[in-house]
A and B are shown apart, each in its own frame.
Chain A
Amino acid sequence: MTASSAPTPATPARPPIRFRGRSFMALVLAPVPPVADWLEELDALARRSPAFFVGRPVILEVSGAGLDRESLRALVAALSDRAVTVMGIEGAGPGLLGDGLPPPLAGGRPVEEVAAPEAEAPEGRMSVAPAPAPARSLILDAPVRSGQTVLHLEGDITVMGSVASGAEVIAGGSLHVYGALRGRAIAGAAGNPEARITCRKFEPELIAIDGLYRTADDLGPVQRGLPAQVRLDGDAIKVAALD
C-alpha cells in the first residue's frame, strides 16, 4: 500500500517547492595586515596569471585582519577594481557588515589549499589540487543520537543502529537504516530523484528525497512503526512496505 499525495486530475497540478543542497568550491582570501602590502602581493600574483580569479567565487576571511567598517569597505572596493568579486565575508564581527557590503557567511569547512598559479603555468588554466576520491558510501556502526547531523553528499549512508528523534541524516544518495528511523531523513540531497530511504521501523519526523519533503503529519499512519521504503514517483513521495 502506498501513500499518494498527487493531486486529482481535475485541479491543475502546482509544482511543489523544492529545497536542494549544492556545494561549491570557493576560494578563500584572508588578507594579512598591512593590507596595502597584501594587495601588492595579490597584484603580483594577478600579473603572473591574469585569469586566476575570473569566474571564481571568492570569500573574504577577515577574522585575523583587524579591519574596521571603513577599511573593509575600501578593501572590498580595491578587490572589485581588480575584478575579484567577493561573494561573502567570513569572520566579521557584529556591526561590521551591512550597507552594500557582501553578506556574512559562517560554517565553511576547510578543504585543501588551492595551489597558487606558478609563473610558468599556462595562462587561463586553473591548477586546482585534485580532491581525493570520496568514499561512495558511509557506514555508521553507532546509533545517530538526538541533535547530531550526519551529512554525506557523495553517496549512500547506512546506519546500523537507529536514527533518534531530533537527529538528522542527509545523504547525496540513498539512506539505509537498520534500526528505527525516528528523526529526519534526507536522501538524494545532491539532486538524485532515484534515491530511496529504507528502514526497519518507520517513525520519522520528516523525510525528503531530491528536495521534495513530507513531515510526519503529512505522511499519516502509513507503515508507521513497520519496515518501510520511501521513493519518489514523479513529484509524489511513495511510502511502501519493505517486504
Chain B
Amino acid sequence: MAKILVVTSGKGGVGKTTTTAALGAALAQAGQSVAVVDFDVGLRNLDLVMGAERRVVYDLINVVNGDAKLNQALIRDKRLENLSLLPASQTRDKDALTDEGVARVMNELREKFDWVICDSPAGIERGATLAMRHADLAVVVTNPEVSSVRDSDRIIGLLDSKTLKAERGETMEKHLILTRYDAARADRGDMLKIDDVLEILSIPLLAIIPESMEVLRASNVGCPVTLNNPLCAPSRAYIDAVRRLKGDTVPMAVPSDKKSLLNKLFTRRAA
C-alpha cells in the first residue's frame, strides 16, 4: 500500500513541479517504487521536467474517463526503472477530472507503488483540491516571500478541511519545503528569514532548498535535479528531505556549493 503525498503551494512558480520530480527521483534512488502524477491538466509540465514529453501516449484524463488502462498511461523512467510518470493532458482542462474517476485511479496507484506523489496545480480551485483530496501527507512548497507564505497558509487551511483525511476527522501530516532560499539575501533583509516563515505557517520544516543554477540546468535537460547532479546543494537538500520522509533523523542544514579558490577569484566577471 502506497503513501500518497501531495506537493502543493497555492502560489504558482514556487517550485512544486521541480520538487515533485526531485522527491520522486530521490525516493526511487533510495529503492522505493514511485509514481509521480501530474494534476496540472491543461498546463502540464511534469513530463518536461522528467524528460518524458516525447513518450506520452495516454494521460490522466484518459485513465479517469476509462479510455485507457493505468498501465497504458504510466511512463516508466529510462534512468530509474522503479520511477513512473502519469502525465496530465494538455488539451483538456481541470473540469474533465471527475471525483469518482480520480478516486478510482488513486486507489489503483495505491495498490501498485510504495509512494504516489501528486503534483498539484497552482490555485485553490478544482485541480488543486482534487490533487490533495486522497493524500496521506502533504508537502507545502514555499518561497521566503510574503505572498507565497500567505498563499501557503491558505492551502494549509484547505488541507485541514477539504481532504478525505480531514473529513474523516484525522489530522493531515504536513511538511514545509522552503525553496529558492538565499542566505545572503535573507541576512540583508531582502527575504523572509526561515524562522519568520516557520512562525507564520507553524508546520514542521522538511528541507531548505538553496537557490541554485543547478535546478534550472536540470529542468532544461529534462532530468530531476537529484538525478542530474546528486552532489549539488539542492540535490543534497532534497535527498535529506526524502530520508526525513522515510523516518530517519537528519540534522537540518542549508547545503551550499563550496566554491573553489579559482571560482572565488573569478566571480566578478564582466557582464
Binding site for B on A (CB under 8 A): 142-143, 145-148, 161-162, 164-167, 180, 182
Q: How far is the CA of A146 from the CA of B200 in the complex (A)?
A: 10
* CB closest residue in chain B, given A179: B202
- Secondary structure of the A side of the interface? loop
Q: How far is the CA of A120 from the CA of B60 in the complex (A)?
A: 64
Instruction: Report whether B150 and A146 are in contact in the complex, using a CB–CB cutoff of 8 Å.
Output: yes
- B111 CB-CB contact with A under 8 Å: no
Q: In the complex, which of the residues B150, B158, B200 contacts A162, with contact meaning CB atoms closer than 8 Å?
A: B200
* CB closest residue in chain A, given B149: A165
How would residues 139 to 155 of chain B score, 1 for a CB under 8 Å from any chain A CB and 0 otherwise? 00000001000110110
Binding site for A on B (CB under 8 A): 124, 146, 150-151, 153-154, 156-158, 160, 199-200, 202
Can you report 24 residue pairs joining A to B where beta carbons are below 8 Å apart? A142-B160, A143-B202, A145-B157, A145-B160, A146-B151, A146-B153, A146-B154, A146-B157, A147-B124, A147-B153, A147-B154, A147-B157, A147-B158, A161-B202, A162-B200, A164-B150, A164-B153, A165-B146, A165-B150, A165-B153, A166-B154, A180-B199, A180-B200, A182-B200
Instruction: Report whether A145 and B200 are in contact in the complex, using a CB–CB cutoff of 8 Å.
Output: no
Q: In the complex, which of the residues B150, B158, B160, B199 contacts A166, with contact meaning CB atoms closer than 8 Å?
A: B150
Listed residue (A142, A145, A161) with the most chain B CB atoms within 10 angstroms of its CB: A145
Residues on the B chain within 8 Å of A148, using CB: 157
Residues on the A chain within 8 Å of B202, using CB: 143, 161-162
Q: How far is the CA of A182 from the CA of B199 in the complex (A)?
A: 12
Residues on the B chain within 8 Å of A142, using CB: 160
- Secondary structure of the B side of the interface? helix
Q: How far is the CB of B125 from chain A (nearest CB, A)?
A: 13
Q: How far is the CA of A145 from the CA of B150 in the complex (A)?
A: 9
Residues on the A chain within 8 Å of B124, using CB: 147
Residues on the B chain within 8 Å of A162, using CB: 200, 202
Residues on the B chain within 8 Å of A180, using CB: 199-200
Instruction: Report whether A164 and B160 are in contact in the complex, using a CB–CB cutoff of 8 Å.
Output: no
Residues on the A chain within 8 Å of B156, using CB: 145
Q: How far is the CB of B132 from chain A (nearest CB, A)?
A: 14
Q: How far is the CA of A162 from the CA of B200 in the complex (A)?
A: 8
Listed residue (B124, B146, B156, B199) with the most chain A CB atoms within 10 angstroms of its CB: B156
Given contacts A145-B153, A146-B151, A182-B200, 20 further A-B contacts (CB under 8 A): A142-B160, A143-B202, A145-B156, A145-B157, A145-B160, A146-B150, A146-B153, A146-B154, A147-B154, A147-B157, A147-B158, A148-B157, A162-B200, A164-B150, A165-B153, A165-B200, A166-B150, A167-B153, A180-B199, A180-B200
Residues on the A chain within 8 Å of B157, using CB: 145-148
Q: How far is the CB of B223 from chain A (nearest CB, A)?
A: 35
Which 3 A-B residue pairings sit nearest by Cβ, starting from the closest? A145-B157, A146-B153, A146-B154
Residues on the B chain within 8 Å of A165, using CB: 146, 150, 153, 200
